[in-house]
Amino acid sequence: MALPTRGHVIIETTVGELDIELWSKETPKTCRNFIALAMEGYYDGVIFHRVVPDFLVQTGDRTGTGGGGESFYGEPFEDEIHPRLRYAHRGLVGMANNGVKDSNDSQFFFTLDRADELHGKHTLFGRCVGDTIFNVMKIGSMELDDDGRPLYPPKIKTIRIIDNPFEDIVPRITAAEKRAQHRAREQVQREREEEVRRKGAKKDTKLLSFQDDENGEEEPVVFKKKAIVRPDLVDNSEQLAVSINPDLTKQSSSSEIPTLKSHSELERENKNTDEKTAKPKKKESDSNSSVVGLREKYAKEQATAETERQQQISKLEKEIRKLDSKRAGGNSSDSEGDHKKKKAKRSYLEEELAKYEKTRGLKSKKDGKRKARDEGDVLAKMNAFKSKLKGSFLDDDEETPELETLEMKDVSGTNETIGGENAESAMEVDTDTGFLSHKLSFPKGNDEEVAKAERDYEVIDPRQRSARAKEEERERKKHARPKDGRRGYRR
pLDDT tens readout for residues 113-162: 999 999 999 999 999 999 999 999 999 999 999 888 999 999 999 999 99
Distance from C-alpha of 118 to C-alpha of 81, rounded to nearest angstrom: 11
| CA angle at 333 for the pair 332 and 339, rounded to the nearest 5° | 90
Residues 165-190: b if buried by 16+ CB within 10 A, e if exposed:
beeeeebeeebeebeeeeeeeeeeee
Q: What is the pLDDT of residue 415?
A: 45
Confidence of residue 234 (pLDDT cuts 50, 70, 90): low
Stretch 230-237: mean pLDDT, rounded? 57
> Is the predicted pLDDT of residue 282 greater than 60, yes or no?
no
Q: What is the pLDDT of residue 91?
A: 95
Q: What is the pLDDT of residue 138?
A: 95
Q: What is the DSSP string of 414-461?
A: HHHHHH-SS--TT-------GGGG------S--HHHHHHHHHH-----
Beta-strand pair 108-111/156-163:
unpaired
Average per-residue pLDDT for the chain: 76
Q: Return the closest-CA partner of residue 170 out of 289, 294, 35.
A: 35
Of the listed ranges 6-15, 69-78, 153-162, 247-256, the least confidently predicted one is: 247-256
Cα dist from 324 to 131, 161, 317, 332, 341, whole Å: 67, 82, 11, 10, 22
Distance from C-alpha of 446 to C-alpha of 463, rounded to nearest angstrom: 34
Report percent pLDDT > 70 for the chain: 63
> What are residue 180's phi and psi, to 5 degrees?
-65, -45
Distance from C-alpha of 263 to C-alpha of 127, rounded to nearest angstrom: 101
Burial of 132 (0-12, 13-18, 19+ CB in 10 A): middle
Q: Is the Cβ–Cβ distance between 156 and 59 less than 8 Å?
A: yes
SS3 of the chain: helix, strand, coil, percent, to 5: 45, 10, 45
> Is the predicted pLDDT of residue 293 greater than 60, yes or no?
yes
Q: What is the pLDDT of residue 416?
A: 44
pLDDT: which is higher, 440 or 315: 315
Q: Which amino acid is at 54?
A: D
Q: Which amino acid is at 30?
A: T
Q: Is the Cβ–Cβ distance between 490 and 482 less than 8 Å?
A: yes
Q: Which residues does 415 contact at the CB level (< 8 Å), separation at least 6?
A: 423, 427, 429
> Is the predicted pLDDT of residue 42 greater than 60, yes or no?
yes
- The neighbouring-strand residues paired with 261 are 240
The pTM (predicted TM-score) of the whole model is 0.41
Q: Which of 110-114, 176-180, 296-300, 346-350 has the highest mean pLDDT?
A: 110-114
Q: Is the Cβ–Cβ distance between 266 and 231 less than 8 Å?
A: yes
> DSSP class of residue 18?
E
Q: Which residues does 435 contact at the CB level (< 8 Å), separation at least 6?
A: none
Q: What is the pLDDT of residue 143?
A: 93
Q: What is the pLDDT of residue 164?
A: 92
Q: Return the closest-CA partner of residue 130 out of 174, 91, 161, 172.
A: 91
Stretch 199-204: mean pLDDT, rounded? 65
Q: Is the Cβ–Cβ distance between 248 and 225 less than 8 Å?
A: yes
